[in-house]
Amino acid sequence: MLTEEEEKFLSYWEKNREKDKSLSQHLWIGLPLGLLISLGIILNYMSGWYTRATMVANGQSTPLVLIFGFILITVFCSVFFKRHRWEMNEQRYLELTYKKKSQESTTTMQQDDGINSQVSN
């Protein structure tokens, strides 16, 4: 038998699996994680703890390249994070549906065996 939590997850995921797959959902849900990673990179860059890297970055790159890189990191992290969560939920859903179907088929076979044993007696 499936637990109550697993039944709730099955009903939730059946209703929301297509909605959660959309790209706009990916961008808005995972955006804070991507911004947090970009903020960490910016703080590391601004702190200047590695002076040689700071000198090279100031001499060879423009602020526009850095801003584009941070935006790219933010979008990638947000899409990757949300897509990974969607895939994990989908995998769990498929496992639970398989488990539910196998339990139902086992129950049906046991009932059929009980009926057949009563008929043969």
Per DSSP, the three-state class of 22 is: coil
Residue 27 · residue 78 · CB < 8 Å: yes
Q: What is the pLDDT of residues 63-85, one digit of tens each?
A: 788 888 888 988 888 888 888 88
In a domain, 33, yes or no: yes
In a domain, 114, yes or no: no
pLDDT at 115 over 90: no
Residue 31 · residue 70 · CB < 8 Å: no
Residue 2 · residue 89 · CB < 8 Å: no
Q: What is the pLDDT of residues 6-55, one digit of tens each?
A: 999 999 999 988 887 777 766 676 788 888 888 888 888 788 888 887 78
Burial class (CB in 10 A: 0-12, 13-18, 19+), 78: buried
Number of domains into which the chain is organized: 1
Of the candidates 6, 30, 7, which has an alpha carbon nearest to the alpha carbon of residue 20?
A: 30
In a domain, 50, yes or no: yes
Q: Count the Cβ atoms, other than its own, within 10 Å of residue 108.
A: 10
Residue range(s) defining the domain that contains residue 96? 4-108
pLDDT score, position 87: 93
pLDDT score, position 73: 87
Least confident of 1-10, 31-40, 91-100: 31-40
pLDDT score, position 119: 54
